[in-house]
Structure 1
Amino acid sequence: MNNDDKKVRAELEFETIPDVKTVEIAKGDVDALLVIARAVAGFEHAHVFEHDSDDPLTGIGDRRAIVLLVHRCRHIAVEIRYDGDTKKHKFSPAATVLRILHWATGKQGFNLDANAAAKANLILPGADQPLPKDAMIGRYADHADCAVTVDLTLKDFTNG
Protein backbone atom coordinates (compact mmCIF):
# COMPACT_ATOMS: atom_id res chain seq x y z
CA MET A 1 0.00 0.00 0.00
CA ASN A 2 1.33 3.37 -1.04
CA ASN A 3 1.69 6.05 1.65
CA ASP A 4 -0.49 8.40 -0.42
CA ASP A 5 -3.37 5.92 0.01
CA LYS A 6 -3.36 6.78 3.71
CA LYS A 7 -3.65 10.53 3.15
CA VAL A 8 -6.59 12.80 2.47
CA ARG A 9 -6.20 16.10 0.63
CA ALA A 10 -8.47 18.72 2.20
CA GLU A 11 -9.30 22.11 0.73
CA LEU A 12 -10.44 24.51 3.42
CA GLU A 13 -12.38 27.62 2.46
CA PHE A 14 -12.92 30.26 5.16
CA GLU A 15 -16.09 32.39 5.04
CA THR A 16 -15.50 35.37 2.75
CA ILE A 17 -11.68 35.05 2.73
CA PRO A 18 -10.60 34.46 -0.89
CA ASP A 19 -7.63 32.19 -0.11
CA VAL A 20 -8.11 28.43 0.03
CA LYS A 21 -5.90 26.43 2.39
CA THR A 22 -4.91 22.97 1.14
CA VAL A 23 -3.61 20.41 3.63
CA GLU A 24 -2.92 16.70 3.74
CA ILE A 25 -3.94 14.68 6.76
CA ALA A 26 -3.95 11.03 7.69
CA LYS A 27 -7.05 9.29 6.36
CA GLY A 28 -9.83 9.37 8.96
CA ASP A 29 -8.13 11.96 11.21
CA VAL A 30 -11.02 14.39 11.56
CA ASP A 31 -9.57 15.80 14.78
CA ALA A 32 -6.39 16.91 12.99
CA LEU A 33 -8.52 18.60 10.35
CA LEU A 34 -10.56 20.45 12.98
CA VAL A 35 -7.37 21.58 14.74
CA ILE A 36 -5.97 22.95 11.46
CA ALA A 37 -9.24 24.69 10.58
CA ARG A 38 -9.61 26.28 14.00
CA ALA A 39 -5.96 27.35 14.20
CA VAL A 40 -6.72 30.33 11.94
CA ALA A 41 -7.12 33.49 14.03
CA GLY A 42 -10.78 34.26 14.68
CA PHE A 43 -11.95 30.76 13.75
CA GLU A 44 -11.17 29.02 17.05
CA HIS A 45 -14.84 28.10 17.58
CA ALA A 46 -15.88 27.83 13.93
CA HIS A 47 -18.00 25.10 12.41
CA VAL A 48 -16.47 22.92 9.71
CA PHE A 49 -18.81 21.72 6.95
CA GLU A 50 -18.29 19.46 3.99
CA HIS A 51 -19.26 21.00 0.64
CA ASP A 52 -23.09 21.03 0.37
CA SER A 53 -23.63 19.41 3.79
CA ASP A 54 -26.22 20.60 6.30
CA ASP A 55 -24.36 19.39 9.37
CA PRO A 56 -20.88 20.04 10.73
CA LEU A 57 -18.21 17.52 9.75
CA THR A 58 -18.11 14.28 11.75
CA GLY A 59 -16.15 12.04 9.39
CA ILE A 60 -14.26 11.87 6.13
CA GLY A 61 -15.01 8.34 5.02
CA ASP A 62 -12.76 6.59 2.54
CA ARG A 63 -11.99 9.53 0.27
CA ARG A 64 -8.76 10.92 -1.08
CA ALA A 65 -9.99 14.51 -1.22
CA ILE A 66 -12.59 16.66 0.49
CA VAL A 67 -13.72 20.28 0.17
CA LEU A 68 -14.64 22.01 3.43
CA LEU A 69 -16.02 25.34 4.53
CA VAL A 70 -14.93 26.80 7.85
CA HIS A 71 -17.58 29.25 9.02
CA ARG A 72 -18.47 30.92 12.30
CA CYS A 73 -22.21 30.74 11.53
CA ARG A 74 -24.18 27.53 11.97
CA HIS A 75 -26.84 28.77 9.51
CA ILE A 76 -27.05 31.52 6.91
CA ALA A 77 -30.28 33.50 6.56
CA VAL A 78 -30.68 33.80 2.79
CA GLU A 79 -33.01 36.52 1.53
CA ILE A 80 -34.00 35.98 -2.10
CA ARG A 81 -35.63 38.82 -4.02
CA TYR A 82 -37.62 38.30 -7.21
CA ASP A 83 -40.23 40.33 -9.05
CA GLY A 84 -40.99 42.64 -6.11
CA ASP A 85 -41.32 39.77 -3.61
CA THR A 86 -38.88 38.41 -1.02
CA LYS A 87 -38.51 34.90 0.39
CA LYS A 88 -36.27 34.00 3.31
CA HIS A 89 -34.87 30.64 4.33
CA LYS A 90 -32.01 29.41 6.50
CA PHE A 91 -29.38 27.20 4.90
CA SER A 92 -26.13 25.63 6.01
CA PRO A 93 -23.15 27.84 5.11
CA ALA A 94 -21.97 24.91 2.97
CA ALA A 95 -25.19 24.77 0.91
CA THR A 96 -24.39 25.31 -2.75
CA VAL A 97 -25.84 28.14 -4.77
CA LEU A 98 -27.46 25.46 -6.95
CA ARG A 99 -29.33 23.97 -3.97
CA ILE A 100 -30.56 27.42 -2.94
CA LEU A 101 -31.55 28.14 -6.54
CA HIS A 102 -33.62 24.93 -6.63
CA TRP A 103 -35.34 25.98 -3.40
CA ALA A 104 -35.96 29.50 -4.73
CA THR A 105 -37.49 28.31 -8.00
CA GLY A 106 -39.47 25.49 -6.38
CA LYS A 107 -42.77 25.33 -4.53
CA GLN A 108 -41.40 26.68 -1.24
CA GLY A 109 -39.83 29.59 -3.08
CA PHE A 110 -41.28 31.45 -6.05
CA ASN A 111 -42.78 28.36 -7.75
CA LEU A 112 -41.44 29.13 -11.23
CA ASP A 113 -42.45 27.01 -14.20
CA ALA A 114 -39.84 24.65 -15.68
CA ASN A 115 -38.85 27.04 -18.50
CA ALA A 116 -38.27 29.97 -16.15
CA ALA A 117 -36.49 27.78 -13.58
CA ALA A 118 -34.08 26.54 -16.25
CA LYS A 119 -33.00 30.13 -16.96
CA ALA A 120 -32.78 31.20 -13.31
CA ASN A 121 -29.62 32.36 -11.56
CA LEU A 122 -28.81 33.96 -8.23
CA ILE A 123 -26.83 37.18 -8.29
CA LEU A 124 -25.58 39.50 -5.58
CA PRO A 125 -27.26 42.92 -5.67
CA GLY A 126 -25.27 45.21 -7.96
CA ALA A 127 -23.15 42.39 -9.43
CA ASP A 128 -22.87 41.82 -13.17
CA GLN A 129 -22.38 38.03 -13.08
CA PRO A 130 -24.41 35.33 -11.30
CA LEU A 131 -22.99 33.37 -8.41
CA PRO A 132 -21.23 30.13 -9.44
CA LYS A 133 -23.71 27.30 -8.91
CA ASP A 134 -21.11 25.09 -7.20
CA ALA A 135 -20.06 27.82 -4.74
CA MET A 136 -21.04 27.55 -1.09
CA ILE A 137 -23.35 30.34 0.11
CA GLY A 138 -21.24 30.89 3.22
CA ARG A 139 -18.53 32.35 0.97
CA TYR A 140 -20.80 35.38 0.51
CA ALA A 141 -22.04 35.75 4.09
CA ASP A 142 -19.90 37.37 6.74
CA HIS A 143 -20.13 36.00 10.27
CA ALA A 144 -21.14 39.41 11.63
CA ASP A 145 -24.74 38.97 10.49
CA CYS A 146 -24.88 35.35 9.20
CA ALA A 147 -27.03 36.54 6.31
CA VAL A 148 -26.88 37.28 2.60
CA THR A 149 -29.29 38.88 0.15
CA VAL A 150 -29.42 37.68 -3.45
CA ASP A 151 -31.58 38.46 -6.43
CA LEU A 152 -33.20 35.73 -8.50
CA THR A 153 -32.79 36.63 -12.15
CA LEU A 154 -33.89 35.08 -15.43
CA LYS A 155 -31.37 37.15 -17.43
CA ASP A 156 -29.31 35.25 -20.01
CA PHE A 157 -25.60 35.59 -19.12
CA THR A 158 -24.28 33.34 -21.92
CA ASN A 159 -23.68 36.12 -24.47
CA GLY A 160 -21.97 38.64 -22.22
Structure 2
Amino acid sequence: MTIRVYVQSEYLSDVQFVEVDDDATLHDLNGAALELLPAGTDVSELSLSIEDDQYDDEEADRPEVTHVRDLKKGHGIRIHLHRCKHVEVYVRFANETVHRKFRPATTVGRVRNWAGRKLGMEPGDIAEHVLQVAGTTEQPDVDVHIGTLARCPQCSLTFDLVPAHRING
Protein backbone atom coordinates (compact mmCIF):
# COMPACT_ATOMS: atom_id res chain seq x y z
CA MET A 1 0.00 0.00 0.00
CA THR A 2 1.32 3.45 -0.83
CA ILE A 3 1.15 6.44 1.48
CA ARG A 4 1.15 10.07 0.47
CA VAL A 5 3.69 12.08 2.47
CA TYR A 6 3.53 15.88 2.43
CA VAL A 7 6.90 17.63 2.33
CA GLN A 8 7.85 21.18 3.26
CA SER A 9 11.34 22.64 3.16
CA GLU A 10 13.25 25.88 3.25
CA TYR A 11 13.92 25.10 -0.44
CA LEU A 12 10.30 24.61 -1.51
CA SER A 13 7.88 27.50 -2.06
CA ASP A 14 4.83 25.32 -1.45
CA VAL A 15 3.89 21.95 0.02
CA GLN A 16 4.90 19.05 -2.23
CA PHE A 17 4.08 15.39 -1.85
CA VAL A 18 5.69 12.07 -2.51
CA GLU A 19 4.15 8.61 -2.45
CA VAL A 20 6.05 5.79 -0.77
CA ASP A 21 5.24 2.26 0.26
CA ASP A 22 4.17 1.99 3.92
CA ASP A 23 6.91 -0.63 4.38
CA ALA A 24 9.52 1.93 3.29
CA THR A 25 12.14 2.93 5.84
CA LEU A 26 12.73 6.49 6.96
CA HIS A 27 15.92 6.38 4.89
CA ASP A 28 13.82 5.52 1.82
CA LEU A 29 11.40 8.35 2.65
CA ASN A 30 14.27 10.80 3.05
CA GLY A 31 15.64 9.83 -0.36
CA ALA A 32 12.25 10.22 -2.05
CA ALA A 33 11.70 13.62 -0.40
CA LEU A 34 15.16 14.86 -1.44
CA GLU A 35 14.22 14.22 -5.08
CA LEU A 36 11.59 16.99 -4.78
CA LEU A 37 14.21 19.67 -4.13
CA PRO A 38 15.47 21.94 -6.89
CA ALA A 39 18.37 20.61 -8.95
CA GLY A 40 21.74 21.57 -7.52
CA THR A 41 20.53 21.80 -3.90
CA ASP A 42 23.26 20.80 -1.45
CA VAL A 43 21.50 18.07 0.52
CA SER A 44 24.50 17.06 2.64
CA GLU A 45 23.38 19.10 5.69
CA LEU A 46 19.63 18.51 5.45
CA SER A 47 17.82 16.64 8.17
CA LEU A 48 14.31 15.26 8.16
CA SER A 49 11.89 16.13 10.94
CA ILE A 50 8.33 14.97 11.49
CA GLU A 51 5.52 17.49 11.85
CA ASP A 52 4.81 18.47 15.45
CA ASP A 53 7.05 15.72 16.84
CA GLN A 54 6.71 16.26 20.57
CA TYR A 55 9.96 14.51 21.50
CA ASP A 56 13.28 16.21 22.03
CA ASP A 57 16.38 14.62 20.51
CA GLU A 58 17.70 13.17 23.76
CA GLU A 59 14.48 11.83 25.32
CA ALA A 60 14.94 8.23 26.43
CA ASP A 61 11.22 7.34 26.12
CA ARG A 62 11.05 8.40 22.47
CA PRO A 63 9.42 5.56 20.52
CA GLU A 64 11.58 3.97 17.86
CA VAL A 65 10.37 4.94 14.40
CA THR A 66 11.96 3.01 11.56
CA HIS A 67 9.25 2.73 8.89
CA VAL A 68 6.83 5.11 7.23
CA ARG A 69 3.86 3.14 8.63
CA ASP A 70 5.04 4.14 12.15
CA LEU A 71 4.40 7.81 11.27
CA LYS A 72 0.72 7.44 10.33
CA LYS A 73 -1.57 9.95 12.02
CA GLY A 74 -5.16 10.95 11.39
CA HIS A 75 -4.15 13.90 9.21
CA GLY A 76 -1.54 12.05 7.17
CA ILE A 77 2.23 12.20 7.26
CA ARG A 78 3.95 15.56 7.03
CA ILE A 79 7.70 16.03 7.13
CA HIS A 80 10.22 18.84 6.75
CA LEU A 81 13.72 18.99 5.24
CA HIS A 82 15.94 21.71 6.64
CA ARG A 83 19.58 22.52 7.33
CA CYS A 84 18.73 23.67 10.88
CA LYS A 85 17.98 20.90 13.35
CA HIS A 86 16.15 23.45 15.53
CA VAL A 87 14.72 26.93 15.04
CA GLU A 88 14.97 29.40 17.94
CA VAL A 89 11.53 31.02 18.04
CA TYR A 90 10.75 34.28 19.81
CA VAL A 91 7.15 35.39 20.32
CA ARG A 92 6.44 38.96 21.42
CA PHE A 93 3.18 40.06 23.06
CA ALA A 94 2.32 43.04 25.29
CA ASN A 95 5.93 43.92 26.18
CA GLU A 96 6.77 40.27 26.94
CA THR A 97 8.87 37.89 24.91
CA VAL A 98 8.94 34.11 25.25
CA HIS A 99 11.31 31.85 23.37
CA ARG A 100 12.03 28.20 22.79
CA LYS A 101 13.74 25.94 20.28
CA PHE A 102 11.46 23.95 17.98
CA ARG A 103 12.13 21.49 15.20
CA PRO A 104 11.63 22.90 11.69
CA ALA A 105 8.54 20.69 11.17
CA THR A 106 6.70 22.37 14.04
CA THR A 107 3.58 24.13 12.80
CA VAL A 108 2.80 27.80 13.33
CA GLY A 109 -0.37 26.69 15.12
CA ARG A 110 1.55 24.64 17.66
CA VAL A 111 3.93 27.56 18.30
CA ARG A 112 0.95 29.90 18.75
CA ASN A 113 -0.65 27.56 21.30
CA TRP A 114 2.62 27.11 23.19
CA ALA A 115 3.29 30.88 23.28
CA GLY A 116 -0.24 31.68 24.41
CA ARG A 117 -0.03 29.20 27.29
CA LYS A 118 3.44 30.45 28.21
CA LEU A 119 2.09 34.01 28.30
CA GLY A 120 -0.79 32.96 30.57
CA MET A 121 -3.58 33.29 28.02
CA GLU A 122 -6.82 31.29 28.15
CA PRO A 123 -7.49 28.90 25.22
CA GLY A 124 -10.30 31.11 23.87
CA ASP A 125 -7.99 34.13 23.87
CA ILE A 126 -5.25 32.18 22.11
CA ALA A 127 -7.72 31.22 19.38
CA GLU A 128 -8.46 34.90 18.75
CA HIS A 129 -4.79 35.66 17.99
CA VAL A 130 -2.42 34.82 15.15
CA LEU A 131 1.33 34.84 14.76
CA GLN A 132 2.72 37.53 12.48
CA VAL A 133 6.30 37.46 11.28
CA ALA A 134 7.97 40.40 13.06
CA GLY A 135 8.51 43.45 10.88
CA THR A 136 6.05 42.27 8.24
CA THR A 137 2.32 41.86 7.71
CA GLU A 138 2.78 38.14 6.93
CA GLN A 139 0.52 35.92 9.03
CA PRO A 140 1.31 32.33 8.04
CA ASP A 141 -1.43 29.71 8.20
CA VAL A 142 -1.46 27.45 11.25
CA ASP A 143 -0.33 24.41 9.23
CA VAL A 144 2.83 26.06 7.87
CA HIS A 145 6.07 24.61 9.21
CA ILE A 146 8.27 27.21 10.91
CA GLY A 147 11.22 25.84 8.92
CA THR A 148 9.73 27.32 5.75
CA LEU A 149 10.05 30.76 7.39
CA ALA A 150 13.52 30.40 8.95
CA ARG A 151 16.72 30.47 6.96
CA CYS A 152 20.03 28.87 7.72
CA PRO A 153 22.48 29.84 9.24
CA GLN A 154 20.40 32.12 11.52
CA CYS A 155 17.99 29.31 12.45
CA SER A 156 15.79 31.77 14.32
CA LEU A 157 12.46 33.45 13.84
CA THR A 158 10.57 36.21 15.65
CA PHE A 159 6.79 36.52 15.69
CA ASP A 160 4.39 39.04 17.13
CA LEU A 161 1.21 37.59 18.63
CA VAL A 162 -1.54 39.85 17.27
CA PRO A 163 -5.35 39.84 17.29
CA ALA A 164 -6.88 37.93 14.38
CA HIS A 165 -8.87 39.97 11.89
CA ARG A 166 -12.54 39.84 12.73
CA ILE A 167 -15.20 40.04 10.08
CA ASN A 168 -18.54 41.27 11.36
CA GLY A 169 -21.53 40.64 9.25
- Structure 1-normalised TM-score? 0.80
Q: Identity over the aligned pairs, expressed in percent? A: 26
Q: Is the 8 A contact 1:76 1:138 kept in 2?
A: yes
> Structure 1: which 5+ runs fail to align?
1-5
Contiguous gaps of at least 5 residues in structure 2: 58-64
- RMSD value, Cα: 2.6
Match of 1:143 among 136, 148, 152: 152
* TM-superposed deviation, 1:11: 2.1
CA contact under 8 A between 1:47 and 1:71: conserved in structure 2? yes
1:16-95 equivalent positions in 2, closer than 5 A: 17-30=12-25, 31-39=27-35, 40=37, 41-54=41-54, 58-61=66-69, 63=72, 65-95=76-106
Q: Secondary structure at the match of 1:70?
A: strand
CA 1:29–1:82 in 2, change beyond 3 Å: closer, same or farther?
A: same
TM-score (norm. length: structure 2): 0.76
CA distance in 1, matches of 2:107, 2:15: 17
Distance, in Å, in 1 between the alignment partners of 2:121 and 2:98 is: 13
Partner of 1:3: none
Deviation at 1:115, TM superposition (A): 4.6
Q: How far apart are the structure 2 equivalents of 1:85 and 1:92? A: 23
Number of equivalent positions? 152
| Structure 1: distance between partners of 2:80 and 2:151 | 13
75-84 or 125-134, which deviates more: 125-134
| Cα deviation code 1:7-60 (max 9, x no counterpart) | 122222112531433222222212221123345422233111222124687432
Would the alpha carbon gap of residues 114 and 10 (structure 1) be closer, same or farther in structure 2, given more than 3 Å must change? Answer: closer
Counterpart pick for 1:123 among 123, 132, 137: 132
User: Which amino acid is the alignment partner of residue 78 of structure 2?
Assistant: V
Q: CA 1:100/1:16 → structure 2, altered by over 3 Å: closer, same or farther?
A: farther
- Deviations along 1:89-110, one digit per CA (max 9) or x if unpaired, are 111111111211111111xx21
* Equivalent of 2:8 in 9, 13, 17: 13
Contact 2:149 2:157 in 1 (8 A): yes
**Which sits farther off after the overlay, 79-88 or 59-68?**
59-68
Kindly provide the amino acid, as one letter, of the partner of residue 156 in structure 1.
A
